[in-house]
Structure 1
């Protein structure tokens, strides 16, 4: 079986994005400063990882490819995360807790356990209209819930930059959810608005 360059790229790109996801969090933390703290607060959270697996499934036409690529990409990201974290910790200026093989093993297993269903849910979110709306709302809901819990439980520890980042993510999640619902309702209602009275009635 021969694969075209575009077909190969369609597999390589999502896996490469998983690698980038894993590297970004530790690199942002290591960079320091306000931007680094904000980026670290975002990419070290759980919702971007869930969002990555979800979007991998969303942009695949095949459910099988969604279920396979999402967890593989997450696993690549996990390995990249802990390897980057360990290497930066050896250079100093960064916490190395959990950066060993045990962290890779634990989160690697979780990547496969959660990556496959998230990829499938992302694929189901491709269903147009109200049928796919509840799936499309998954990541905004996860982002809102996670950041709300962090703000409630860790409000005294993190810096104001981190707290501000979590607050921004929470409000953005609400805005995205409202936009998704509005777009779906408008798409459902618009064809019916221009339909002449009595059309479709028995």
Structure 2
């Protein structure tokens, strides 16, 4: 074995050893940041809400409250798991099993970290004396694993080409648009309308961009294949 081969083998070994640590650090950091930010935005939203006013209760809104209903919604938390699954995926990796496993682990860890950070910040803000992990129902911890793992695996497929990559990239915008129909955000009709308008506009723009880019890439790929064929 040459020195270059030994060096390459040693580098690959180190890469395999540090890979789980990289996934762990990235997933925990991004998840914790998202959870803490969501709790703080919720607190800011509550500080602007005058719920003793009937007019504000039925039609009032604020930018902070719009941010709150967008961040603290199912599609956003699902998008976190997908985004982290994509973030920890290396473009050079080609084994589908390894991609799915890394993405699944990252998605679950990110949602667990987000739930923990959300609970800790909420406990600190409320001055609660109870253990911070009791501020959230056990259901959310279970959901972090049950939904985080498959969503993270979806995120790991975002960089793939073909139909699988296309479906993975469409997961978040399509899911967000569907939630606006099934479970729109907001405590009154005005906030609900604003929230739906923002999400539907962003989802439509994202879906259009993703589909058009996919079609252009596929057409370019077919043109190159046709030019290279005898």
Moved more, 62-71 or 39-48: 62-71
Equivalences for 1:163-178 in 2 at 5 Å? 163-178=193-208
Whether 1:28 aligns to 2:41 is yes
For each residue in 1:3-38, what CA deviation from the matched residue of structure 2 results, as whole angstroms up to 9, or x when unmatched? 7xx965664233111001111222112113423212
1:57 CA displacement:
1.4
Task: Give the aligned partner of residue 96 of structure 1.
Answer: none
> Unaligned stretches of 5+ in structure 1?
92-98
Equivalences for 1:11-22 in 2 at 5 Å? 11-22=24-35
8 Å CA contact 2:176, 2:199 repeated in 1? yes
Partners of 2:23 and 2:150 lie apart in 1 by 20
1:190 CA displacement:
3.0
8 Å CA contact 1:30, 1:36 repeated in 2? no
Equivalences for 1:181-196 in 2 at 5 Å? 181-192=211-222
For each residue in 1:106-142, what CA deviation from the matched residue of structure 2 results, as whole angstroms up to 9, or x when unmatched? 2111101111111111112221133411121111111
8 Å CA contact 1:78, 1:104 repeated in 2? no
| TM norm structure 2 | 0.69
For each residue in 1:73-108, what CA deviation from the matched residue of structure 2 results, as whole angstroms up to 9, or x when unmatched? 2101111112322332349xxxxxxx8627242211
| Equivalences, count | 189
| TM norm structure 1 | 0.78
Partners of 1:16 and 1:159 lie apart in 2 by 35
1:191 CA displacement:
4.4
Distance 1:109 1:196, change over 3 A: closer
8 Å CA contact 2:27, 2:110 repeated in 1? yes
Task: Give the aligned partner of residue 126 of structure 2.
Answer: 89
8 Å CA contact 2:27, 2:109 repeated in 1? no
Moved more, 163-172 or 39-48: 163-172
Whether 1:69 aligns to 2:106 is yes
8 Å CA contact 2:84, 2:155 repeated in 1? yes
